[in-house]
Amino acid sequence: MRAINAIRMGGVDVLPLVEGGKGVSISNGLSAGNWALAGGVGTFSAVNADSFDVNGRAIPQVYHGRTRRERHEELVSYAIQGALTQARRAWEVTGGKGRIHANILWEMGAAERIITEVLEQAKGLIHGITCGAGMPYRLSDIAARFNVYYYPIISSARAFNALWKRAYSKTAELLGGVVYEDPWLAGGHNGLSNGEDPLRPEDPLPRVMALRKVMRDFGLHETPIIMAGGVWCLEEWESWIDNPDLGPVAFQFGTRPLLTQESPIGNAWKQRLLTLKEGDVFLNRFSPTGFYSSAVSNGFLAELRERSERQVAFTTETIGEHVAEYGVGPRKRIVYLTYADRERALAWERQGFTDALRTPDSTLIFVTPEKAREILEDQTACMGCLSSCRFSNWAQHEPDYTNGKKADPRSFCIQKTLQDIAHESDEPAAVERNLMFSGHNAYRFGKDPFYSSGFIPTVKQLMERLLTGR
């Protein structure tokens, strides 16, 4: 195995080992601080991070506003205070000597406003901003305002080309690196384009080579590319290290830091990671963002799959084969199905799925009365955690603060489930009933001898392991 030497990134020499930022409250100041203390780049999530009371207990993010806009303002306040708390916590762990990045999602609600306020109040504590989940054109402007480095997360050379030409060329000196995130293997939200097949993964090397070519065309010969998604051990990437065709390369680890002593996830979640099998991580499109995402296949995802499978198209007047009357809702308003779909609907009713909910695509999904109440309550309780949400139809743009479409009951409240699993994952039931993001390599926890007999390392022990190449 080649020696893992420091590289120049963000104006300093660091080990080319970057902690992937995982929200909500999964990459925090403790994990990031310890990663940085070991010589790499620590990353805390600034997506609705935890803040604490005087006794050190996480403050529940409870919303009291009567309107979505009022609750959105509460969310923004929670987000700013939580990110500041984690930035200060990371600084305390490192004694101000480590390299700390804050991770944000461009499509999170009020992203620009939140990170701007955090950087204003945390001067000197945060050295870089990583940002994905969208096309963050204004990321460089924010970085320039506070003289911090920025690290866009992209999944193709084409995406970076667009970002550079529109915005980043004006602030090239603060571009600390470009994160290439494999859209098939990374955990969380994935950057698959409409022209890419989710079932046909592509080799990352040609895609990263294409990215480096574009970067060299722009004079970015020494700007590191940070490989993210599918990275487990460096001996599998040995041909990338010190490769003159690739130029400076670092590696981002998102999944492996989940299973450390400093990781804030609960014990039931950690134990579930140790039992995963290949294929247990599911690439799906249920997210209210509209992006693909990768998560552990559990009861939560099974219910969403089944919900969408119990689905039929309808019309509001007789058209073609849609001539079979069917009553929807308490008032049994008549819509028209095909005769075959009406038989399917009646069969689902006999199984207890008696509530038909309309989707924006002129279809009906069939759920139990209890699930229907939960869906409607979650939609009503929306606090605008995304810039645009297909589940609740929220959008942060004035004047009406909607995306102009009907709320989609095939999706879910992402804020609710991520907060629940972040804070209740000591309980096995919470791990089963919530969205559990993960990279596709998570099954390797159960195969890697490093984790034999249920061993859970400290961050320092994990970093030492990574530096061996294994």
pLDDT at 1 over 80: no
pLDDT at 395 over 90: yes
Tell me what the mean pLDDT of segment 196-201 comes to: 90
Nearest to 17 by CA among 140, 101, 122: 101
The pLDDT score that the predictor gives to residue 346 is 97
Read off the pLDDT band of 134 (50, 70, 90): confident
Nearest 5 degrees, angle CA 347-CA 353-CA 357?
110
The pLDDT score that the predictor gives to residue 157 is 96
The pLDDT score that the predictor gives to residue 195 is 85
The pLDDT score that the predictor gives to residue 24 is 84
The pLDDT score that the predictor gives to residue 33 is 97
Read off the pLDDT band of 25 (50, 70, 90): confident
What is the rounded distance in angstroms from the CA atom of residue 367 to the CA atom of residue 310?
Answer: 8
Say which residues have a Cβ less than 8 Å from residue 403's Cβ, sequence separation at least 6: 388, 389, 390, 393, 394, 395
Q: Where are the domains of the chain?
A: 7-275+442-467, 299-433
| CA 442 to chain CA centroid, nearest Å | 16
Looking at the chain, the whole-number percentage of residues with pLDDT higher than 90 is 92
Residue type, 248: P
The pLDDT score that the predictor gives to residue 67 is 94
pLDDT at 133 over 90: no
pLDDT at 23 over 90: no
The pLDDT score that the predictor gives to residue 122 is 94
**pTM here?**
0.94
The pLDDT tens digits of the residues spanning 139-170 come to 999 999 999 999 999 999 999 999 999 999 99
pLDDT at 419 over 90: yes
Domain with residues 7-275+442-467, CATH architecture: Alpha-Beta Barrel (3.20)
The pLDDT score that the predictor gives to residue 204 is 97
The pLDDT score that the predictor gives to residue 470 is 87
Helices 111-121 and 139-146 cross at an angle (nearest 10°) of 10
Pairing of strands 99-105, 128-132: parallel
The pLDDT score that the predictor gives to residue 49 is 94
Range with the poorest average pLDDT among 31-35, 397-401, 405-409, 457-461: 397-401
Does an H or E element contain 413, and which?
none
The pLDDT score that the predictor gives to residue 317 is 94
Tell me what the mean pLDDT of segment 205-232 comes to: 97
The pLDDT score that the predictor gives to residue 193 is 85
Residue type, 43: T
SS3 11: coil
pLDDT at 384 over 80: yes
